[in-house]
Amino acid sequence: MIIKHLAIIQVILPLMAAPVCIVIRHHVGVKIWAVLISWLSFLISIALLVQVSDQGLIVYQLGGWAAPWGIEYRIDILSAFVLLIVSGIGAVVMPYSWTSVEKEIVHERAYLFYCMILLCMTGLLGIVITGDAFNLFVFMEISSLASYVLISFGQDRQALVAAYRYLIIGTIGATFYMIGVGFLYASTGTLNIFDLSQLVPALSASRTVKAALAFFTVGLGIKLALFPMHMWLPNAYTFAPSAVSVFLAATATKVAVYALFRIVFTIFGGTEILEILPIRGLLIGMAAMAMIYGSIQAIYQINVKRILAYSSIAQIGYMVLGLSFDNATGIAAGIIHLFNHALMKGSLFMVLGAVMYRVDSVQLNDMAGLGKYMPLTMAAFFIAGLSLIGMPLTVGFVSKWYLIQAALEKGWWPIAMLIVISSLLAVVYIWRVIEVVYFMPANPEAREVREAPISLLLPTWILLGAVIYFGIDATTGLNIAIAAADALLAGGGS
């Protein structure tokens, strides 16, 4: 009986668990509770992925109301895959946050932190799972509001400014999305994504529908921090508590990328609008600029968290680039990069959380010579950094290989060149950190630093294990990504 309801349980489990945190209130109890919930939610998403790959599409109608009128949850292979990313990262971040939160957030606030991170997870899972454009907006607000609060937990006073700025910009993004939904509703009278995909092709000449597509692209572009709309991201990631940086960097932008392409492909995929309005070309242009701009900015930062934040902007460029190619290889590359980047960036930010725990700073200068005193932590940074650059035997290689292959398939060799250049820039910024960590003499106070506690190291290395495992055994992930790409290209029928 429970199998039938897994789709809804995936969302309501963290939703109902969040208020319970406020009842438990004691920091130890809350921590255990959050870990339990996140693991359970991970198991559910695995079960959903298995179920989808066995039987295909899962449809769940809330309250038993039939689809275009009621809200339905719709899980295809792509959404099941993204669900797995979100809940998987959640399952690793929760135990990681035990030690990290203890250090960075006062005990009395720990329960609020866990309440918020569970709500954020609810929102992200909901965006992925829902088949209703308005419901997607509601979940987007849940996850965004929770993440504003999470960022403001940062120790630095600037965290408040960063959270406030994210709040203003994020709200504009959500409003734009909402205007898009409004336009589509005005011209079709439905909010169901599948239903929209059936009705929109007949209206592709309508100016309202075109305006809707423009609003969707800009609104979600802000949410996923696509190049000229990325200004909120570096500060938000830099000043947030370490565990929050890990969680948001690994999941929030990925889910926004998912939402953008769910809208673009599923609703507008079958129409000529994508030919009339050159959205794809626009996205490719912005993605290419993001790749170069993000990487160059990352080179000039002196705060390592900031380096990674700018690198995220570049990596988001890769995902959008892949998904904007209208061939299956490119889309598969984009989808697999969602997964791979979550693993790599997650483990890199986890390393910085461990450094924060021991050194109280993630400034580049303060990390001098740490390779000697925190060997396991820094080895993790080294390997994840290599993956970010795109070394073979790590996941980074798989995504770049497919991305370049897709560009060459289309004959766009300048794009392929840009990918290579951006990777070379990644070598520069990762090497800057590696050089300071391994080849500079340690500061006098750094000589006291010991290896990070096992509670931080273990989750980091688990994620890193996945970076290496899926780099060697790339077929598992790729098969899912290719199936998802085919489903996306098939448009609304999926």
Partner 1 sequence: MLKKTILRVVSKFLIPFVLIFGLYVQWHGDFGPGGGFQAGVIFAAAFILYGLIFGTALLRRVLPSKVTRSFLVIGVLLYSGVGVFGIIFGGEFLDYSVLARDPLKGQHLGILLIELGVGITVAASMITIFCAFAGRSPNRLDEF
Q: At 420, which amino acid appears?
A: V
Site for partner 1 in 78-117 (CB under 8 A): 108-109, 112
**CB atoms inside a 10 Å sphere around CB 443:** 15
- Minimum distance from residue 187 beta carbon to partner 1 (Å): 28
Distance CA(422)–CA(414), nearest Å, equals 12
Q: Are the beta carbons of 30 and 114 closer than 8 angstroms?
A: yes
Among 16, 161, 276, 417, binds partner 1 (CB under 8 A): 16
Decide if residue 289 touches partner 1 (CB under 8 A): no
- Answer yes or no: are the C-beta atoms of 455 and 331 closer than 8 Å: no
One-letter identity of residue 172:
I
Q: Does 51 bind partner 1 (CB under 8 A)?
A: no
Nearer to partner 1, 69 or 413 (CB): 69
The answer to whether residues 125 and 252 touch, using CB atoms and an 8 Å cutoff, is no
Smallest separation (angstroms) from partner 1 to the CB of 65: 9
**Between 24 and 243, whose beta carbon lies closer to partner 1?**
24
Residue 169 CA to residue 294 CA, distance in Å, equals: 19
54 or 108, CB closer to partner 1? 108
Q: How is residue 285 written in tokens?
A: 């242009």
Residue 328 lies near partner 1 (rule: CB under 8 A)? no
Between residues 2 and 414, which has the closer beta carbon with respect to partner 1?
2
Strands (E), 111-241: none
Q: Are 88 and 241 within 8 A, CB to CB?
A: no
By CB under 8 A, how many residues form the interface with partner 1? 18
23: contact with partner 1 by CB under 8 A: yes
Calculate the alpha carbon distances from 300 to 183, 253, 269, 340, 438 in Å: 42, 23, 40, 25, 19
Other C-beta atoms within 10 Å of 124: how many?
A: 35
The window from 10-18, 83-91, 168-176, 310-318 that contacts partner 1 (CB under 8 A) reads: 10-18
Residue 66 is a binding residue for partner 1 (CB under 8 A): no
Number of Cβ atoms within 10 Å of the Cβ of 175: 14
Selection from 357, 347, 212, 182 nearest residue 277 by Cα: 212
Q: Is 8 in the site for partner 1 (CB under 8 A)?
A: yes
Nearer to partner 1, 25 or 447 (CB): 25
Specify the residue, 4 or 447, whose C-beta has the smaller distance to partner 1.
4
State the nearest-atom distance from the C-beta of 5 to partner 1, in Å.
5
Q: In sequence order, which residues have a C-beta less than 8 Å from that of residue 334 and are 6 or more positions away?
A: 257, 261, 318, 319, 320, 321, 322, 323, 324, 325, 403
Can residue 54 be called a binding residue for partner 1 (CB under 8 A)? no
Shortest distance (Å) from residue 83 CB to partner 1: 17
Binding segment for partner 1 (CB under 8 A), chosen from 14-22, 127-135, 282-290, 477-485, is 14-22
Select the span of 60-68, 87-95, 242-250, 290-298 touching partner 1 (CB under 8 A).
Answer: 60-68
**DSSP structure string for 290-342:** HHHHHHHHHHT-SBHHHHHHHHHHHHHHHHHHHHHSSSHHHHHHHHHHHHHHH
> How far is residue 40 CA from its own chain's centroid?
20
Q: Segment near partner 1 (CB under 8 A), from 62-70, 286-294, 373-381, 434-442?
A: 62-70
- Smallest separation (angstroms) from partner 1 to the CB of 15: 6
Q: Name which position in 37, 52, 58, 60 contacts partner 1 (CB under 8 A).
A: 60
Choice between 191 and 274, CB closer to partner 1: 191
Other CB atoms within 10 A of residue 392 CB: 12
Q: Is 59 in the site for partner 1 (CB under 8 A)?
A: no
Query: Can you give the length of the chain in residues?
Result: 494
With respect to partner 1, which residue has the nearer C-beta, 63 or 444?
A: 63
Q: Which is nearer to partner 1, 1 or 55 (CB)?
A: 1
Interface segment toward partner 1; rule CB under 8 A; list 54-62, 208-216, 246-254, 281-289: 54-62
Could you say which residues in the range 183-212 bind partner 1, by CB under 8 A?
none
Could you list the residues that contact partner 1 (CB under 8 A)?
Answer: 5, 8, 12, 15-16, 18-20, 22-23, 60-64, 108-109, 112
